[in-house]
Amino acid sequence: MWVCGALGARTPAQLRRRLFPASRRRRPAAAAFSASAERSRVRALVYEHHGDPAKVVELKNLELAAVGRSDVHVKMLAAPVNPSDINMIQGNYGLLPKLPAVGGNEGVGQVVAVGSSVTRVKPGDWVIPANAGLGTWRTEAVFSEEALISVPSDIPLQSAATLGVNPCTAYRMLMDFERLRPGDSVIQNASNSGVGQAVIQIAAALGLRTINVVRDRPDIQKLTDRLKNLGAHHVVTEEELRKHEMKNFFKDVPQPQLALNCVGGKSSTELLRHLAPGGTMVTYGGMAKQPVIASVSLLIFKDLKLRGFWLSQWKKDHSPDQFKELILTLCDLIHRGQLTAPACSEAPLQDYQRALEASMQPFVSSKQILIM
């Protein structure tokens, strides 16, 4: 929009007429933009081999590709640093792009120009990646139309930049594994994570009670207050969850039918121990890097179910239109003030080293967002 606005043009056609005089106007959009694209340089965070992100990621200049008939030129606005981004760079994720690769699986950009066959987006629109592996840690890029989904440009920038992964994961886990009704309980660990904060807010919007497990820390009361301000009903530490007194806790609070596990190890065992008979624990991460250990007696006598969730697999099993519908549902929650972005710290792209290192620190309370 800023390109068209600066030139007094409202449509791509008007933009082409102002950029290119009549003698050059016969070329299609792809050709028209290719000359300038070939001269453009893009700053991007690139890794050529897997390893420690702080060591293998470098800020480099790349050449911007020409805009083809089905392509979209996007100026990236903001992109977060997620745990999956770190795992992908380390080489221990379920989806690994061909190397060298640009980091980043999530973010929001603004459309600058489109090819002649593009119909679903236009200059000025905000767009997010349709799938992981797109490489969002760069100032601009040319993507295929199918690789992008448009989002409303009237939602906060941080919400748009963090919309496509964590809130989607939270919503699907709440909806797809148990038939929960208003008043039912959900228990989760890693409650301060991006997914955890989204679970709290979406569950509150659905009328569900959340029991939120976090690691003990010096500022535990500050964290507790922040999560309760998001809509958390109960916040307990890992240590408190293991105490005998929790039996009294569940005399007043319904036992959860659903547990969401992002940690593994002892933490996941405790979640299972407090599930209601017939309940389900969904594992979507393994921060402790320890296996999920399930008691045989719990599986037999309480008939508990163990499931896994990976958003990339959900996308493979569902159509692009279904993912678009999910995004619009979340945008509606944002518009209604029921879903906000996680606590974020913004960093300029050139300060990527600090952002990467901060994202890998223990007890992280703020998501790092790269501003382009």
Decide: helix, strand or coil at residue 28.
coil
* Section 64-91 average pLDDT: 96
- The amino acid present at 10, given as its one-letter code, is R
Average pLDDT, the chain: 90
Last residue within a domain, chosen from 312, 331, 361: 312
Write the burial class of residue 321 (CB in 10 Å: 0-12 exposed, 13-18 middle, 19+ buried).
exposed
Percent of the chain with pLDDT over 90: 83
pLDDT at 251: 87
Tell me whether residue 20 is in a domain.
Answer: no
Q: Assess whether 286 and 305 both reside in one domain.
A: yes
Spacing of C-alpha 313 from chain mean position: 15
Task: Select from 265, 295, 312 the last residue of a domain.
Answer: 312
335 domain residue, yes or no: no
Q: Three-state DSSP class for 370?
A: strand
Domain that holds residue 301: 166-312
Sequence-distant (6+) residues with CB within 8 A of 48 are 56, 58, 99, 100
Tell me the two tokens of residue 255.
């036992």
26 inside domain: no
* Bridge partners for 148 per DSSP: 129
Total domains in the fold of the chain: 2
The verdict on residue 16 lying in a domain is no
Q: Are 274 and 246 in contact (CB under 8 A)?
A: yes
Is 323 among the domain residues? no
pLDDT tens-digit map of 112-138:
999 999 999 999 999 999 999 999 999
Model confidence band, residue 291 (pLDDT cutoffs 50, 70, 90)? very high
Same domain, 112 and 57: yes
Compute the distance between CA of residue 201 and CA of residue 205 in angstroms, rounded to an integer: 6
Going by pLDDT thresholds of 50, 70 and 90, the confidence category of residue 41 is confident
pLDDT tens track for 260-273: 999 999 999 999 99
Model pLDDT for residues 302-350, shown as the tens digit of each residue: 999 999 999 999 999 999 999 999 999 999 999 999 999 999 999 999 9
271/264 Cα distance (integer angstroms): 10
One domain for residues 198 and 60: no
Half-sphere exposure of 294 (CA within 13 A, CB side): 18
214 lies in the same domain as 346: no
- Just list the catalytic residues: 93
- The reply to whether 239 and 107 lie within a common domain is no
Residue 15 has pLDDT above 80, yes or no: no
Q: Render pLDDT for 135-194 as a digit per residue (tens, 0 to 9).
A: 999 999 999 999 999 999 999 999 999 999 999 999 999 999 999 999 999 999 999 999
Is this model's pTM higher than 0.85 or not? yes
Mean pLDDT of 208-234: 96
- What was the pLDDT predicted at 36? 43
| Final residue in a domain of this structure, among 312, 334, 355 | 312
pLDDT for the residue 23: 37
Residue 192, domain member (yes or no): yes
CA 172 to CA 178: how far, in whole Å?
11
Smallest CA-to-CA distance from 130 within 143, 148, 108, 151 is with: 148
Same domain, 231 and 113: no
H/E stretch holding 240 reads: helix 238-241
Angle at 50 between CA 45 and CA 169, to 5 degrees: 75
In a domain, 6, yes or no: no
Query: 152 and 63 in one domain?
Result: yes
The reply to whether 32 falls in a domain is no
